[in-house]
Structure 1
Amino acid sequence: MPTAAFAQSTGSVDFEKEVIVVTGTRTQDVGGVQTPDAPKAKAVVTQEMISRSGPGQTVLDTINIVPGVSFQNNDAYGNAGGTLTIRGFDSTRISYTLDGIQLNDSGNYNIYSNFSIDPELIEQVNVNLGSTDVDSPTASAVGGTINQRTRNPGKELGGRFSASLGQYDYRRFFGMIDTGELTSVGTRAFIAGSTSKYDNPFNNYGKMDRTQLNAKVYQPIGANGDFVSVAGRYNRDRNNFFGSVPLRLDREPNQGFPTSRDEREYDINYPCTVDAPQAGAADAANSCGTEFDRRYNPSNSWNFRGNSRFTLAEGLTLTVDPSFQYTKANGGGTDTAREYGYDLNPTGGRSNCSTTPESATVQCEYGYFGGDPYVGIDLNGDGDLLDTVTVLTPSQTRTRRYTVISGLRYEINDDHTVRATFTRDHANHRQTGQIGYVRDNGEPVDVFPVDDPILTADGAVVQKRDRQSYAILNQIAAEYRGEFLDNRLTLNVGARLPFFKRDLENFCATSSASGFVECSGQVASIDEDAVDLNSSWSPPQRRVFKYSKFLPNVGVVYDFTPQISGFVSYAKGLSVPSTDNLYNSFYFDRDEAAAKPKPETTDTIDGGVRYRSSKIQAQLSAWHTSFKNRIAEAYDAELDQRIFRNLGSVEKYGIDGSIAYQPIPQLTAYVFGSWNKSKIKNNLIVGEFGGITDCDNIPGTATDLDIARSCAFTKGNREAGSPKYTYGTSFSVEPVQGFSFGLTAKRTGPRYVYDNNQPVFFGDTTSPSVGNEVREIFPAKVPAYWLVNMDARLNMGAFAADLDKTYIQLNVYNLFDKLYAGGFGGFSNQPVSSSGFYSESSSSGIPFVQMGAPRTVSVTFNVGF
């Protein structure tokens, strides 16, 4: 297969020759699956397969058929996000790109599936399993990459329009126009837009609302494949959170995970009214508008991205991919604001500044202290400064990101090619926490308080966080490909050398190892007094972190026969600590080890065999990853905070396989499966009680409670959150011309809740009483589940030849309405309090889990010309 488009950047597209392809198109060999001789495993899902998914569906759900990929969608239509792993690596360790540009959050590397483009515009999604392209602009991808490639505009005038209706009042409209060739030199373009709205499936409140615009201009240059293209995307989301419940089985619906499908639905406190203010009284805020499901998750984002290829001389090609991205987003949330000040002086305990005058031991100031805003103004209009009032307090993020990926390829001869690349990625990442007003019904006045924030009596901006980050990457890379032994042996050797710089400034004081901050609104005098009066606080400051490592990769493919081949590859990876991890280190003095977080590194080996014939194509591969300095989130009982800990080494290995079979042209079938194992090599120390400093050498004087509070016994265990196995099938059949039917079924294996592989407990370990006995409230593993999706299409071309692009499509998500646990964030262990009680807090002990989307039916009418 020619190089075409099965890579990320234009340079990688230009350099590569072959990939693994998973596609729904009838033109591909053996039921839509190809397994050509590639030195590393890549899976490619094309538009034919994408179009079988539901309208507007995220491509992360579509690639769930790729061996090694596991995705739990938060809803059936794809607007609400989800949880992704590849070969057991979570999404922060996977690169997510669009036409080669990085879409991961530049601070914490999270993947937000709403940063995708409309699926109708995606030519293909290609997945690197366990490795990256040599020019990938990533700071964290040790687990693989996912790249979406936008379709090129058509050469002829054309268009496509669709309308979709479905359960939960789903309404989606999509339209696209291809201009065709506008000039004598072949300039062409498309413009597209979509809008979708629907209710969430579980409660009486939340909604999803998305508007997206896309455009692309393509200019071919000459007849040798050179071109310049410019594309742009704008996306607006106004979504609510929903369906997230504690992972426990001993509570009422909405307070724990449901035990039946009927228990998935629940009502929240809506409609409601906030507390009515009374002059001269110390009014207290009520709960109206404060529930998790009332949170908005708004985002405005846009990008411009360029791709280009120029032939400079015979055999010498230049590629340049520049881009710019802008994101404005927050995750919602509320807090209780005080109309009075905060006592900075801890002497004698914190005083209530609404009733206690300042003195030698009481210093009242305004800002965001102790986890709450103190403003010094009348928030509810009752004429006094005595009240506590609900305000909007989201964590706001604004990102401006510039990237350029450039490369030179030189074809020495037909058998030997080399290339060199340079990548520059510069992200200006501003994270703030301005506060805003809520209406009488608990609704935000503005979902973006950053646009009109509440000020203190002194005129400072009240913020729960206030930090400026610059994430900068300069990377050089080189790669060689040679073909030997009459083209039976292909060798790829490459390396990249990234230079990462994290320039961070925190304008707030840091009061805990978990990064908890105390913010004055950048009032220098208050910051100075705060640190003087609270000696354990670290002052506002700036720190710069630098990381670099030589990252080689090599791959070999050998064709034993025309049908049988084998491959093996090796790659070293690097994942730089996230901004949260780095900002947490501000709590420690610069010369302490905890102030110097280490990067994660991986060494991955892949190997496998392939069989290819006219009716069957099969692949079986095995892989092993040695994962060093694996960062884990743990609860420190001594500090009463969640912190990042170095879990040490983890060994990961597994098997991926797939078989494609096409007995007749009207029937195609694809079967896939994966099994993986991870083994944590060390126990994790989460506190230091009873003289314990090493969980492998516990003093004889340490009590059981000391041990429980100090150690997470993770050694020899499997990592939490990733399924042990996945397998399934996808098939389509065309029993009569114009009518096709498809089914995709996947079983996702059990997932551990904690890295110590223990169940979730409730109770008192030291002095149990009636009702407080230690008991299991959720098993150690989330159960395995089947998810079956169905699609059926009636193409009008069967009735009239000129209607071949017009069809009606039915989609059913979760056909058998299975109740299952979706995505969740695993912890290292469930902590025990100083009194011996198992923690029930969602921030420290019991994870929240997303309920799996219920059965959802939608119908799409598509017209094309």
Structure 2
Amino acid sequence: MVIRLRLSVLLASTAIAGLTGTTARAQTTSVASSATTAASTPAVSQAAPAQGEPKAEVVNVTGRTALTRSPGAGLMRVETAPKAIQTITRDFISKQSPTTNIQQILKMLPSANVMDQDSFGLYSGSTMVRGLDQTNIGWTLDGMPLNDIGGGQFYSNEVLEAEDLETVSLLPGSVNLDSPIVSGAGGLVAATMSNPSHKMGGLMDISFGSFDMTRQFLKLNSGDIGNSGVRFMFAFSHTKANNYRGPGLSEKFHYDFKLVKDFENGSHTGLTVSYNDQVNDSFLNPSLSQYRKTGYSTNYDADYGGVKDTGYYKLHVNPFRNVVAILPTHIVVNSRLSIDDSAYFWHGIGNGTGATTLTEGKTYYGGTYVPIDLTGDGKVTSGATYLALTPSNQEQFRPGNTIKVNYQLGSHHHLTAGWWYEYSNLLQYSPVGMVNQTTGEPDNIWGTRALIKMPNGQPYNYRDFLSLAQVNMLFIGDSMDYFDRKLHIDLGFKEAMMTRRVYNYVYGPGGTYNRNLHVAEPLPQIGIAWNFNRHHQIFVDGATNFKVPSNTSLVDYYSNTSAARVQRGGASTPQYSISEEIGYRYTGDTVIGSVSFFNYNMTNRLLTLNQYENGTSYSQTVNAGGQTSRGVDVQVSTRPILYHLRPYASFEYLSAKIDNNIGTTSTLNGATISDYLPTKGKSQINSPKVMAALGLDYDDGHLFVGAQIKYVGKQYATLMNDSSIPNYITDAVNIGYRFGSLGFLKSPQVQLNMTNLTNAKFRSGIYTFQNTLNGVTGVRGGAIAGAQPVYYLQTPFTAVVTVSTGF
């Protein structure tokens, strides 16, 4: 009775404090009795499995983790689709630190090069896939697009807690036919939220770790509500941690909800909601010279140093709130005809802040001088200085819907036709916020009030533009099976049409108020698989993908301290890629393996350049011309062998070459001219030739131990390949023990996760690339100046202890 009372008090205080929780039901290789998860995820046509394929044996427990026979302890799944797919399942996810985000989950896959900003998943890092950055990858949750509609960025710290994550699939070669994606030149990452349990119960876990990290999580399952066919789950978490270097901390409140309604005829509908409220103090990523001089001590200032101290850490904050909601519905009309519909909504508001010291008498708006009283003394005093907050704000509304009709025509053809529509509204602006000149603290980190205003009473926004985007995508496909389902063929075609309208409210001399971009891309795809028997399969596929240029590339930017135009906007050509793959899969009773050879040809390769302006980080799109990427991916794993061991190995060889010289400017005889950077034949940035990973898991139902290491080869930080970061190795270990149930406590568990056991320090990725480090002579003879890249740093040794129990 006392134990029950104490638990009830703890759960109540957790909910009041704003903490999250999730239920981690026993993971099986056949997920969920409802088809909701599958229907709400973009369909991947699967070649028919051969007869007699063994089913995975599963020992069910109610708790955070479960004993399964998943290949590689969940780092690999049996795939049959006629394309490369790399999937991580709940088995592996549940044994990672519960703070882990979706990007960090991908690290062990052969195609993924993941760069962390922190150890706890509270910050979004960056992911490269076969030489393409994360803005070239489509990211979805239960079939809903998660990429920023403006520039294609994905922020993994804002989406779904690890306890609620069922699977993550990386499709490195192509996106699915019905994927609602306009930035999928590098493939697709599809995440699914776990379905609510059929039994009432829940999960609670508490974590603590390095850098004063604390986390509380609660998940409640309704179970089946009578005979209504309805069940739901609600999860709530709170995470807080100090930054591993420099001053500051991060704090996150997160909520997940999922409802499923099943009908007797096989139809089902549901609702998925994920809400995130987070404030992070930013890290300062070091340039090359900073890294060589101060290394890991390159940070924002812990103490305020006066009105010229734009590096004070309280002026560099990232507050953001966002919610995603998906309404997936599957309607069975008859045995041959069904309809799938997925309506969704995304809303986000927040910023990344920076700071600058402004001077009265030198304040400009849209290339024109405007006298502004910065100090608030009622007059403009030439030379008076003021430390101001300069956030990069955005608010985004993104509703959309995907509908498709499925029809089984005879025994050989499964026809699909559908339409994706979306209309988004994205407002981006950079106001000038008030700062206490004595303490250095901003009056409002959200940049929505306490703003410096112009003489006309309007906020002094040195950037202010609205982007409207309308997307229509029509698709049709046929999945065919012949020769007793040994031969499987997917044929598909989609026409993606997008109109982007940008209205610039701060345009000056030579600038443009409105620019529009109209895109229509035909995107055929084909996949063929041949199943020799239940063990052996070969497949080939060809696909076309594209990426729309970012909205910011259409906008003219002006300095707020001079009349200079710092960016000339203009319409860009979309990136277009053609990919081919040929692969082989072996599915044995014990050993699972796959190998795929790939080739990409890209035109108008769009690179994302991260820069700092007025202390604020922002992104800009750079057209890097053509690119050819070729290589091979290998994965191999086993089910349990030798006393519960499950090894896993992956390997990638990648050759990513720039096909042409890239346009830029240079200086010739004192004049600025159009020129070309001599990059033809150079290797692409952030594209290591070799990556390899090894994992090993032991799990006897009570004690589980796992270890993972990954090797990442040399990566270039400049397009001229005159600066690079050396190869490195990362590592992680997890240890846990499941206890027997005690009363209403189901399978209580303790778990320890550790990363970077040697506390190694090195540059782990490129945050900002440059044309050249040392300077170079352009094709037309001009001098192209060098500039310094900026880097991600490897996070230090980190340990997280988690105590959890089902109930």
With the shorter chain as reference, the TM-score category is: 0.7 to 0.9
Asked if residue 619 in structure 1 is aligned to residue 615 in structure 2, the reply is no
Deviations 1:670-727 (A, max 9, x none): 111111001212112322554xxxxxxxxxxxx9x99999442211111012222210
Counterparts of 1:472-511 in structure 2 under 5 Å?
472-509=470-507
Q: Offset of 1:864 from its aligned partner? A: 0.8
Q: Percent identity?
A: 22
Q: 1:648 aligns with which of 613, 620, 625?
A: 625
Partner of 1:694: none
The equivalent of 2:545 in structure 1 is: 573
Decide which of 403, 408, 413 is 1:411's aligned counterpart: 408
CA contact (8 A) 1:243 1:851 kept: no
- 1:741 equivalenced with 2:683 (yes/no): no
Residue 575 of structure 2 corresponds to which residue in structure 1?
600
Q: Which amino acid aligns with 1:620?
A: V
SS at match of 1:581: helix
Secondary structure of 1:463's partner?
coil
3-state DSSP of counterpart to 1:550: strand
Q: Which is further off, 81-90 or 36-45? A: 36-45
- CA shift, 1:272, in A, is 2.1
- Alignment partner of 1:685 is 2:663: yes
Query: 1:113-142: per-residue Cα shift (whole Å, max 9, x none)?
Result: 122211101111111112001111111111
Aligned equivalents of 1:633 and 1:561: distance in 2? 45
Please give the root-mean-square deviation of Cα atoms over the aligned residues, in Å.
3.2
Gap change, CA 1:781 and 1:7, over 3 Å in 2: farther
User: How far is 1:634 from its partner?
Assistant: 8.7
Distance in 1 (CA, whole Å) between partners of 2:476 and 2:403 is 12
- In the alignment, does 2:796 pair up with 1:854? yes
Letter in 1 for 2:252: R
C-alpha distance in 1, partners of 2:619/2:405? 46
1:321-351 CA distance string (max 9 Å, x none):
0011111121100122334465xxxxxxxxx
Q: Which letter maps to 2:40?
A: T
Question: Aligned to 1:208, which of 250, 261, 268?
Answer: 250
Distance 1:666 1:833, change over 3 A: closer
1:559: how far off? 1.7
Cross-structure match for 2:154: 111
Q: Which residue of 2 aligns with 1:230?
A: 271
Distance (Å, rounded) in 2 between the aligned partners of 1:745 and 1:217: 38
1:803 Cα offset (Å): 4.9
CA distance in 2, matches of 1:839, 1:14: 47
1:425 matches 2:401 = no
* Contact 2:73–2:91 (Cα < 8 Å) also in 1: no
Cα distance in structure 1, aligned partners of 2:608 and 2:268: 46
Q: CA deviation at 1:749?
A: 1.1
Alpha-carbon distance in 2 for matches of 1:553, 1:13: 14
Instruction: List per-residue Cα deviations over 1:811-851 (Å, max 9, x = no partner).
Output: 101122121212323223247499999857xxxx1121121
Aligned length: 742
Counterpart in the other structure of 2:771:
828
Residue number among 153, 176, 196 corresponding to 2:196 in the alignment: 153
Give the match's secondary structure for 1:648: coil
State the Cα deviation string for residues 166-196 of structure 1 (Å, max 9, x = none): 0101011111111112242221111111111
Find the residue that maps to 1:303 and give its secondary structure.
strand
Residues 666 and 784, structure 2, Cα contact 8 Å, conserved in 1: no
Relative to structure 1, is the Cα distance of residues 25 and 409 closer, same or farther in structure 2, using a 3 angstrom cutoff? farther
Query: Do the aligned partners of 1:656 and 1:675 also contact (CA within 8 Å) in 2?
Result: yes
Quote the residue 2:565 is aligned against. Answer: none
Deviation at 1:434, TM superposition (A): 1.5
- Contact 1:197–1:208 (CA<8 Å) still a contact in 2? yes
Distance verdict in 2 for CA 1:41–1:294, change over 3 Å: same
Confirm whether residue 77 of structure 1 aligns to residue 52 of structure 2. Answer: no
Residue 56 of structure 1 corresponds to 99
Q: Establish whether residue 719 from structure 1 lines up as the match of residue 696 from structure 2.
A: no
**1:469 counterpart letter in structure 2:** S
Is the alpha carbon distance of 1:643 and 1:36 closer, same or farther for their aligned partners in structure 2, counting shifts above 3 Å? Answer: closer
Task: Please report how far the alpha carbon of residue 582 of structure 1 lies from its aligned counterpart in structure 2 after TM superposition.
Answer: 2.4
Preserved contact between residue 338 and residue 375 of structure 1 (Cα < 8 Å): no
Distance 1:676 1:266, change over 3 A: closer
One-letter amino acid of the structure 2 residue matched with residue 578 of structure 1: S
SS in 1 for 2:641: strand
* Residue matched to 2:331: 310
Matched to 1:402, the amino acid is: P
Shift of 1:154: 1.1
| Residue number among 808, 821, 836 corresponding to 2:750 in the alignment | 808
**Displacement after TM superposition at 1:111 (Å):** 1.3
1:385 aligned residue: 381
Equivalent residue, structure 1, for 2:523 = 551
1:819 maps to 2:761: yes
Secondary structure of residue in 2 paired with 1:55: coil
What's the offset of the Cα at 1:543? Answer: 2.0
Measure, in 2, the Cα distance between the counterparts of 1:58 and 1:715: 37
TM-score of the superposed pair, with normalisation by structure 1: 0.80
Match of 1:757 in 2: 721
Matches within 5 A, 1:241-260: 241-248=282-289, 251-253=292-294, 258=295
CA contact (8 A) 2:733 2:754 kept: yes
Looking at both structures, which has the greater relative contact order when contacts are Cα pairs under 8 Å and sequence separation is at least 6? 2
Quick check: 1:337–1:375 contact (8 Å CA) kept in 2?
A: no
TM-score using structure 2 length:
0.86
Letter in 2 for 1:785: Y
Contact 1:92 1:111 in 2 (8 A): yes
Paired residue secondary structure (2:665):
coil
Contact 1:723 1:748 in 2 (8 A): yes
SS across alignment from 1:686: strand
Q: Structure 1's 319 and 199: CA in aligned 2 closer, same or farther, altered over 3 A?
A: same
Q: CA 1:800 to 1:722, structure 2 compared with 1: closer, same or farther past 3 Å?
A: same
Q: Give, in angstroms, the shift of residue 601 of structure 1.
A: 0.7
For residue 738 of structure 2, what is the amino acid of its counterpart? N
Cα 1:41/1:828, change in 2 over 3 Å: same
Where do 1:260-659 residues align within 5 Å? 264-265=296-297, 268-272=300-304, 274=306, 285-287=307-309, 289-291=310-312, 294-340=315-361, 342=363, 367=365, 369=367, 376-379=372-375, 381=377, 385-386=381-382, 387-439=384-436, 440-509=438-507, 531=509, 537-538=510-511, 540-583=512-555, 595-632=570-607, 646-659=623-636
Task: Indicate how the Cα distance of structure 1 residues 820 and 376 shifts in structure 2: closer, same or farther if over 3 A, else same.
Answer: same
2:240–2:251 Cα contact (<8 Å) kept: yes
Once the two structures are TM-superposed, the CA of residue 265 in structure 1 deviates from its matched residue by 4.0
Residue aligning to 1:514: none
1:26 and 2:47 equivalent? no
* Alpha-carbon distance, 1:665 to partner: 5.6
Report how far residue 271 of structure 1 moved: 2.4
Q: CA deviation at 1:796?
A: 1.1
Structure 2 residue identity aligned to 1:720: I
* Structure 1 Cα separation of the partners of residues 106 and 269 of structure 2: 29
Distance 2:748 2:803 in 1: 8
In 2, the alpha carbon distance for the partners of 1:176 and 1:186 equals 20
1:98 to 115, 138, 141: 141
Aligned equivalents of 2:123, 2:418: Cα separation in 1: 36
Over 3 Å counting, the alpha-carbon distance change for 1:153 and 1:632 in structure 2 is closer
CA distance, structure 2, for counterparts of residue 74 and residue 454 of structure 1: 32
- Contact 2:366–2:558 (CA under 8 A) maintained in structure 1: no
Contact residue 585 and residue 595 of structure 1 kept, 8 A: no
Alpha-carbon distance between aligned partners in 2 of 1:39 and 1:310, rounded to the nearest angstrom: 26
